[in-house]
């Protein structure tokens, strides 16, 4: 069975964005890009909510073609373009894009069915609304949390609609030189 893995930058107090979606507090640099690139290169599927997917689709397909493309842009664009994309969206139902499946209803059953298909794993990048939907069905298997050294006080929380108490096991942690701490958790068995 394929794992469903959530990747998020999060504030120390548990927010993934400010009240209006602000993410200017997130610290990223080459060290983090390299770490994430090494982690995702063997994955074959990405899951997004509509808003995040539209942002990704507007950038990654041609990011490597830009004259000022960074190493990260080139590597992640190559991964993005070959990866299967799953988009949770009621408004995009019936749309056709290469390597993209839109799910507008029966989310729990359809995601569980996709997890049973051949492949490596499904990565959720950002997409707080999609993660909130999936948490209520208890289908997220692992969390990679990039905890940024900032308190927002308010904003969009990472954990919402958790359906039950879910014990987690810490598999690894890494502190980056910019102060971000990556913690990798899986559901405890």
**Looking at the domain assignment, is residue 87 inside a domain?**
yes
pLDDT value of position 164: 82
**Looking at the domain assignment, is residue 139 inside a domain?**
yes
pLDDT digits (tens, 9 = 90+) for 120-157: 999 998 888 899 889 989 999 999 999 999 999 999 99
**Looking at the domain assignment, is residue 143 inside a domain?**
yes
pLDDT digits (tens, 9 = 90+) for 32-45: 999 999 999 889 99
Count the domains in the chain.
1
Its pTM stands at 0.90
Q: How long, in residues, is the chain?
A: 189
**Looking at the domain assignment, is residue 125 inside a domain?**
yes
**Looking at the domain assignment, is residue 62 inside a domain?**
no
**Looking at the domain assignment, is residue 180 inside a domain?**
yes
Contact (CB, 8 A) for 119 and 84: yes
Q: Which domain holds residue 120?
A: 3-50+83-187
- Gap between the Cα atoms of 5 and 20, Å rounded: 25
- Gap between the Cα atoms of 63 and 71, Å rounded: 11
The maximal CA–CA distance of the chain, rounded, in angstroms, is: 49
DSSP 3-state of 175: strand
pLDDT digits (tens, 9 = 90+) for 76-123: 999 999 999 999 998 887 788 989 999 999 999 999 999 999 999 999
**Looking at the domain assignment, is residue 99 inside a domain?**
yes
Domain at 171, CATH number: 3.40.430.10
**Looking at the domain assignment, is residue 158 inside a domain?**
yes
DSSP 3-state of 143: strand
- Gap between the Cα atoms of 121 and 1, Å rounded: 9
């Amino acid at each position: 069975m394929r794992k469903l893995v959530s990747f998020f930058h999060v504030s120390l107090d548990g927010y993934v964005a400010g009240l209006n979606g602000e993410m200017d507090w997130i610290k990223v640099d080459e060290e983090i890009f390299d770490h994430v690139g090494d982690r995702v290169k063997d994955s074959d599927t990405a899951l997004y909510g509509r808003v995040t997917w539209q942002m990704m689709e507007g950038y990654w397909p041609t990011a490597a073609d830009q004259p000022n493309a960074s190493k990260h842009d080139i590597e992640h664009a190559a991964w993005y373009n070959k990866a299967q994309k799953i988009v949770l969206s009621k408004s995009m139902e019936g749309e056709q894009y290469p390597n993209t499946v839109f799910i507008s209803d029966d989310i729990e059953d359809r995601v569980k069915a996709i997890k049973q298909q051949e492949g490596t794993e499904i990565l959720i990048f950002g997409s707080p609304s999609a993660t909130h939907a999936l948490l209520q069905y208890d289908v997220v298997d692992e969390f990679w949390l990039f905890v940024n050294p900032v308190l927002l006080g308010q904003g969009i929380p990472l954990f919402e609609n958790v359906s039950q108490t879910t014990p987690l096991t810490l598999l690894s942690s890494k502190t980056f030189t910019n102060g971000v701490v990556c913690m990798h958790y899986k559901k405890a068995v």
